[in-house]
Each structure stands twice: as structure tokens, then as C-alpha cells.
Amino acid sequence: MIGFFIFLILLVIIFTVVKRQMKDNKPVASVLSLLRIASAVGALVILILASLVQIGPGEVGVPILFGNVQDNVLHSGLNFVNPLVTVEKLDIKTQAYTMSGVHSEGAVKGDDAIITLSSDGLTLKLDVTVWFRVNEAEAPVIIRTIGIDYIEKIVRPASRTALRDVSVGFVATEIYSTKRDDFVNQVTKYLETAFQGRGIILERVLLRNVELPPKVKEAIDEKISAEQRAQQMVYVLQKEKQEAERKKVEANGIAEAQRIISNTISSQYLQWKYIESLKELMNSKNNTILITPYDKNITPLLNVGR
């Protein structure tokens, strides 16, 4: 745009010089005057447009004048600038850099998972996402010292190095399960140090997946299954023990009841209950024949039902 502005200014100068030479030819001079005015208006419009820069939401602009990065930062919206400067825009929103073994999931197409070693010498495959953003106040520092390709120069190599350096301090099964949070916290501290002074703010490290060697994974699955079987057996034993206790309490209750009954029932009481039962049978509407054993204490009864 600046080049077109200069071209129009040159046209204005040329038309002015030619008009002076052709002042005796009024029709030509009139045309040259109109062309000069049109060129001047066009140059003015271009100058105004070159002085306006629109910065989108979630972006900042860094002015560069003749290769010299300016310290001021342009914010979202319409900004008036020196028409001679160029503006480099940077995204200050949260960005996610993913390294994954899934072909279409990571920032780099294909298998971009991190292959690393644990302290016990096992090979791990990690899928990781790093959340970060550009520090708005330090945007000129990024343009001046790193450039707009800060992800490839800083974020990616620092992240992969941090994951490999920290993983050697952990056993594979710890990263997989018991000390997963400790591993992520150490990687976070490592990256915060790596990003410091470079205009990049780390927000969070997400350990999305840990892939163990097949044999180790099978051993872990078998261990989990064994633990579940052991817990089930403990439950069964507890249930059987409770059932045995219940039966013991029940048997003790029955024995105690029998002891009380045997100590309280007399022969006279049994004879009385016997006679009462015979009376009920004799008064029954059914035809009944009762033959009672002889007992000197009990009058033999014989009832032939009607």
C-alpha cells in the first residue's frame, strides 16, 4: 500500500510538471489538472488507510518500523499508527499444543506421541496437551527474540524435553496410576522455568494417556483381577462367618428354651393337656373312635361318634 502511495505522489508531481509545460494548451492542461487532483486524493485515501490497523479479538499487534520492533502494543479494535510501520499480530488467547499417537489428533499429523523411559527402564508412550498463552505485555519481546513461530521453537521442544527428563525419576506404574499427579506437577514446574522470560505463560499440562508395554499392562490387569478375587473371597468368608454366628445364636436359643420347658412342665400338667385334647376330639362332629391307653389316673374314654 505504501508503494502505491508513493506511485500516486510521483504521478502528482509528474502531472504538475507537465501541466506547467502545457499551460498554453488549455484542454490538455485541464485534463492534467484533473488527473493531478485524482492522484492526490487517491494518495490521501491510501495514506489514511495505511494509518489504520484493525486488531481482532484475542490478538495484539506489534508495530515494526524499518525492521525495528517498537515497544508499544496495539490492542483489539481500530488503531492509528505510523503509515510506514508494519504490524505483526499475535494470538493472546489460550492455545493448546497436543502431542498424540492418534493420527489426526495432534498438532503434528501422524504418531506424535512422546516416547520416553521410566526409572525402571520401561518404554512409555505419552499423549500430552499443553495449555499456554502469550503474555500480552511481552509480545514485542517474542517478535524481537523468537519470532511468530514460538510454538515450534519453544513450546514443542521444551514440552517434550520436560516430559522425558521428569519421567526418568518415576517408575512406570507410578506414572500410570499412583503418582500421576506428582509427575504432572513436576513437568509443570519444569515448563514454567523454561517459559520464563520468553513471553509465554503456562496454564496447565494435561497427561491424556499413558501407554505401557503390553507385558506390563497384562501384569497390571492380572494383579487387579487377583485383588478383586481376593476382595470377593473376603466378602464370602465374612458372610459365612456371620451365618455361622447366626446359627450358633439360634441353636443356643433353642437349647435354652428346651431347658426351660423341661424344667417347668410336670406330669400332672401333661395329663391335664391330654384329657383336654381327648375332650376336643370327642366333641368333634366327625365320626371318631378313641382308644385310650389304660392309666389308673385317667378314666378310659370311649366315644363312638354319631
Per-residue pLDDT band at 254 (split at 50, 70, 90) = confident
Dihedral angle computed from the Cα positions of residues 286, 289, 291 and 296, in that order, rounded to the nearest 10 degrees: 70
Cα(240)–Cα(242) distance, integer angstroms: 5
pTM: 0.61
Instruction: Work out the mean pLDDT of the chain and round it to a whole number.
Output: 80
130-167: per-residue pLDDT in tens?
A: 999 999 999 999 999 999 999 999 999 999 999 999 99
Of 88-97, 215-224, 293-302, where does mean pLDDT reach its minimum?
293-302
What does the pLDDT read at residue 71? Answer: 87
Nearest to 202 by CA among 276, 96, 293: 96
What does the pLDDT read at residue 7? Answer: 59
> What phi and psi values does residue 134 have, to the nearest 5 degrees?
-85, 135
Cα(138)–Cα(94) distance, integer angstroms: 15
Contact 164, 156 (CB under 8 A): no
Mean pLDDT, range 15-25, rounded to an integer: 63
Is it the case that residue 306 has pLDDT exceeding 50?
A: no
Q: Can you list the alpha helix ranges (DSSP code H) found in 208-266?
A: 214-264
In the chain, % of residues over pLDDT 90: 28
Cα(121)–Cα(99) distance, integer angstroms: 22
What does the pLDDT read at residue 188? Answer: 95
CA distances (Å), origin 9, targets 5, 15, 31, 186: 6, 10, 17, 61
What does the pLDDT read at residue 302? Answer: 41
Of 23-37, 55-69, 281-295, where does mean pLDDT reach its minimum?
281-295
Of 50-54, 97-101, 137-141, 166-170, where does mean pLDDT reach its minimum?
50-54
Between 261 and 55, the more confident residue is 55
What does the pLDDT read at residue 305? Answer: 41
